[in-house]
Amino acid sequence: MTNESSFSLICKIIYGIFGGKNFDNNNSKDSKEFLGNPLKNKVLVLNQSYEPISICSVKKAILLLFLTKAELIAKRDGIVLNSVHSKVPLPSIIRLSRYINIPHKKIDLSRKNILRRDGFKCQYCGTTSGNLTVDHIIPKSRGGTDSWDNLVTACISCNNKKGNRTPEEAGMKLLAKPRKPNHIIFIKSFIGSAIDNEWKPYLFVD
């Protein structure tokens, strides 16, 4: 088969799937969860080294698979996308066939990124409700710096309780040691709490 005819067949398959939006399910847990419109799912993209690098749409993932630019690592159980020419499992994780060197953009130290790193959760009491602020673990008046390891998300109540003291002096304990985030943390933040079980090993989630 020539490259032109191969491309034509791929186009027909892709159009058949996304033009008609046909899919089968066998009433599995995954198929029930995504019965509304499985094409709205997101797919985790791994580099050739298995490092997670991004999230993409089902359409883009299937195109990469048909063009052999990626391989299927995990699929949604019980969900199959149909076209006249083929049946395609609904992808959950794909891995790029070639390694791509991605210079990850520097993550700016900002209030928004502190909140995102901490999952919009007070790092003292764990609440996610109400107004959230940013607290200096070591107060600025006592030499504390504006840095990833000295800034945490705090609710107003905990911030007021701590005041101009260290957590130890205030008898308060941090839920986790703050650190500079990487792109994986922000992939988790983008996904939210509903992380697929298949994704967890790649995103270092228990």
CATH code where residue 163 lies: 1.10.30.50
pLDDT of residue 95: 96
In a domain, 193, yes or no: no
- Looking at 79, 102, 125, the residue that finishes a domain is 102
In a domain, 83, yes or no: yes
The average pLDDT across 152-180 equals: 95
The total of structural domains in the chain comes to 2
What DSSP assignment string belongs to the chain? --HHHHHHHHHHHHHHHHHHTEEEE-S-HHHHHT-S-GGG-EEEEE-TTS-EEEEEEHHHHHHHHHTTSEEEEEEEEEEEEE-SS-EEEEEEEEEESS-----PPPPP--HHHHHHHTTT--TTT---SS-EEEEESS-GGGT--SSTTTEEEEEHHHHHHHTTS-HHHHT---SS------HHHHHHHHH-S---TTTTTTTT--
Q: Say if residue 147 is in the same domain as residue 64.
A: no
In a domain, 202, yes or no: no
The average pLDDT across 5-10 equals: 50
Q: Say if residue 28 is in the same domain as residue 82.
A: yes
Q: Say if residue 8 is in the same domain as residue 98.
A: yes
Q: Say if residue 11 is in the same domain as residue 70.
A: yes
| 118: containing domain | 111-183
In a domain, 146, yes or no: yes
pLDDT of residue 143: 95
In a domain, 155, yes or no: yes
Q: Say if residue 19 is in the same domain as residue 94.
A: yes
Q: Say if residue 97 is in the same domain as residue 56.
A: yes
pLDDT tens digit string along 127-143? 999 899 999 999 999 99
pLDDT of residue 7: 47
pLDDT tens digit string along 97-125? 999 987 766 788 999 999 988 989 999 99
